[in-house]
Amino acid sequence: QTHKILVLPGDGIGPEVMTEAIKVLKAFESTSHTFTLRQELIGGCSIDATGKTVTEEVKQAALDSDAVLFAAVGGPKWDNARKGLDGPEGGLLQLRKAMDIYANLRPCSADSPSVSIAKEFSPFREEVIEGVDFVVVRENCGGAYFGRKVEEPTYAMDEWGYSEAEIQRVTRLSAEIALRHTPPWPVISLDKANVLASSRLWRRVVEKTMKEEYPQVKLVHQLADSASLIMAVNPRALNGVILADNTFGDMLSDQAGSIVGTLGVLPSASLNGLPGDKTLKTRPYGLYEPTHGSAPDIAGKNIANPVAMILCVALMFRYSLNMEDEAQRVENAVRKVLDSGVRTPDLRGKAGTSEVGDAIVAAL
């Protein structure tokens, strides 16, 4: 099988961590899988070269590929000059919109390589982290972040609205992810149905969709504020698929990151559906990106941690390319290397970016 991958290294440490991720990807080239890589510009480097943070050509390339690997964009050179959709991060927003990747996934598992180091770096006690295993699915194309805005000197308003269709599709995707586990994971849906009208629709549509289409998956409704408390004191109680709208999902997924206690190791996936989804009108799209930014303070020094970007390759195998075994092999290799002490300075190690990448390839 040939997989078409669009590679977007971006700015700052982006190209450095991407180089390591590509090394890992290439290690899986075999008679059964080959990868056609197309590398393009996005963010600051694209502004410098084309005047645009992302060109129509690159957006089209994303729509023509099986998956997109994205590193990071931005830096002091562009951050003040350009804002919003025209700024470096605007390129990513435009790409998300073009691909309609409405579900943002952030896994957090005590078994995962990123959380195995949590023992040392997390502010949480070890017995709190032990056995944690959940994925936050954040609705990423609607809600308060995309609604109508009013901004006056003494009044401001953000419209926080959802349609039934928007809620349905992210519910289905969450249930499909729950079903990938045996026995199926529960879906824990967050809302504030006690005070928000949009949350009442959210709860109703999630309830109906799950009951009619996924009766075998357990559904729990949880008020978003209390979910945040539970995540701080007993995160295991949220094991499963945590389904949340754009705002609550943003909060909760960052809070989930705090369990690990360090940047540089957390991958994420943004999807418009999963392979095999019959309701899809396009092919399934997936964009994989680390949760950190372009870290201009350490760019060019070969000290950036490539682990988050490398774990994005594992997520891409899992969610876009139907290569679950290979995904686990990447994760196991990363764990082995981190446990062996080959780590970048952010994890109090002495290894360089490329050394970590090489060690992971060797462990494969």
Asked if 270 is part of the footprint of ligand NAI (rule: CB under 6 A), the reply reads no
In the bound state with Mg ion, the residue whose beta carbon lies nearer, of 91 and 186, is 91
Q: What are the strands, taking DSSP E only, across the chain? A: 2-10, 34-39, 67-72, 103-109, 133-139, 149-152, 155-158, 187-191, 219-223, 240-244, 267-271, 286-290
Distance CA 331, CA 115 (A): 11
Site for ligand NAI in 214-253 (CB under 6 A): none
Supply the residues annotated as catalytic: 145, 192, 225, 250, 254
Can you point out the beta strands (E) in 186-296? 187-191, 219-223, 240-244, 267-271, 286-290
Looking only at residues 285 through 344 of this chain, which bind ligand NAI when binding is defined by CB under 6 A?
A: 292-298, 304-305, 308, 344
CB of 59 to ligand NAI, least distance (A): 17
Smallest gap from Cβ 102 to ligand NAI, in A, equals: 17
CB 268 within 8 A of CB 256: no
- What is the chain's length? 364
Which residues have a Cβ under 8 Å from the Cβ of 70 and sit 6 or more positions away? Answer: 8, 10, 42, 92, 95, 287, 288, 289
d(CA 257, CA 108): 8
Q: Distance (Å, rounded) from C-alpha 330 to C-alpha 212?
A: 37
The interface region with Mg ion, picked from 116-124, 153-161, 243-251, 332-340 by CB under 5 A, is 243-251
Closest CA to 95 of 168, 46, 51, 136: 46
Q: What is the DSSP track for 122-187?
A: -SS-HHHHTT-EEEEEEE-SSGGGTS-EEEETTEEEE-----HHHHHHHHHHHHHHHHTSSSPPPE
**Taking CB under 5 A as the rule, does residue 326 contact Mg ion?**
no
Q: Taking CB within 5 to 8 Å according to partner kind, which of ligand NAI, Mg ion, none is near residue 73?
A: ligand NAI
Q: Which is nearer to Mg ion, 258 or 282 (CB)?
A: 258
- Each residue 246-275 as x (binds Mg ion by CB under 5 A) or -, in order, gives ----x---x---------------------
- Closest to ligand NAI by CB, 107 or 293: 293
Taking contact as CB under 6 A, which single stretch among the options 68-76, 182-190, 214-222, 237-245 is the one that binds ligand NAI? 68-76
Site string for ligand NAI, 73-112 (x = CB under 6 A): xxx---x---------x--x--------------------
Size of the site for ligand NAI (CB under 6 A): 23
Total chain residues near Mg ion (CB under 5 A): 2
Integer Cα distance of 149 and 134 in angstroms: 33
Where does this chain bind ligand NAI (CB under 6 A)? 13, 17, 72-75, 79, 89, 92, 263-264, 292-298, 304-305, 308, 344, 346
Binding site for Mg ion (CB under 5 A): 250, 254
